[in-house]
Structures are given as structure tokens and as C-alpha cells.
Amino acid sequence: MRIIRYLIIILFITNNVNANNSYFSEGLTLFEKREFDKAKFKFEQDIVFNPKSEKSYLYLSKIFNIKKEKELEEKNLNTVILLNPNNEEAVFNLAELRLSQSNYKESKNLTDKLLKICKKYCQKGKSLRVEIENSLKK
């Protein structure tokens, strides 16, 4: 009888783990289909079960960028950077957001940080640095 209980508990736990892993995948599929409200819900579900899901926070920031909800975009980008300070995409996106807010100093600091850690975003970081410098000259 004990063995049956343990098997049921293990089966229940593995089913929950598998369901939790699928939220991000489902959200990504919906994001790629441009079904942003549904994708947002799936990413939020993923975060409920995996609070350190930097990818879900990153995609939420992308959704809020598309929806022009800058405060929520910023909040999610900051969370990504808190979870992983070396997430190049989040650092770059936050630097761009700061530049759009005319916060040149913060944008420059973020770009400098990006150029120190970059692997994939080096060229984008250099272009952003030039854009910031040109903005400062105006």
C-alpha cells in the first residue's frame, strides 16, 4: 500500500514539473504567432512555477515594448538583469529604453557595461554608443 502511495505522489509531481516546463514553450510559440496577450499569460504562469525564469521576464519585457508600456518593460528588464547581470539582450534593451527616455548618462553606463560583457551584442552596443554620443552633441 505504501508503494502505491509513493508511486502516485511521484507521478503527480512529475506531471506538475512537465506542465510547468511547457508554459515557457507555449508562451514562446504564442509570441512568435504575435498573440501577445496569450503569450503574456503563459510567461506569467511560467514565472509562478519558476520565479527565476529570466527568459520569461525577458519575453514579457518584449511584449510590453510592443504594447508601449515602458514602465512594465523596464520592470521586467531590471528583473532579468537582477537574475543575470550578464544578459546582453536585457542590458542592450534597457540601454535603448534609457536612451528613448533621454537618460543619456544611464544609457551610456549600460552600453559601457554591455561592451565589457558582450559576445553577441558587440556590434549593436557599438552602434548604440555612437547614437548616444551623437545625442549628447546636440
C-alpha cell at 58: 525577458
Residue 19 has a pLDDT of 53
Question: pTM (2 decimals)?
Answer: 0.82
Q: Which of 24, 53, 73 is the last residue of a domain?
A: 73
Q: Is the pLDDT of residue 16 over 60?
A: no
Per-residue pLDDT tens digits for 104-120: 999 999 999 999 998 99
Q: What is the pLDDT of residues 64-107, one digit of tens each?
A: 999 999 999 999 999 999 999 999 999 999 999 999 999 999 99
CA atoms of 90 and 23, how far apart (whole Å) = 21
Instruction: Assess whether 2 and 58 both reside in one domain.
Output: yes
For the stretch 18-71, pLDDT in tens is 555 699 999 999 999 999 999 999 999 999 999 999 999 999 999 999 999 999
Q: How much is the CA Rg of the chain, to the nearest whole Å?
A: 19
**Domain presence at residue 108:** yes
Query: Binning pLDDT at 50, 70 and 90, where does residue 134 land?
Result: confident
* DSSP state letters, 39-93: HHHHHHHHHHH-TT-HHHHHHHHHHHHHTT-HHHHHHHHHHHHHH-TT-HHHHHH
Instruction: Based on the fold, state whether residues 126 and 60 are members of the same structural domain.
Output: no
Q: Distance between CA atoms of 31 and 62, rounded to whole angstroms?
A: 9
Range of the domain at 89: 85-138
Predicted pLDDT of residue 3: 63
Residues 12 and 48 grouped into a single domain: yes
Helix/strand/coil percentages in the chain, nearest 5: 85, 0, 15
| CA–CA separation, 87 and 84 (whole Å) | 6
Q: What is the Cα–Cα distance from 113 to 118, expressed in whole angstroms? A: 8
CATH of the domain at 69: 1.25.40
120 and 98 co-located in one domain: yes
Name the nearest CA neighbour of 93 among 42, 39, 57.
Answer: 57
* Domain total of the chain: 2
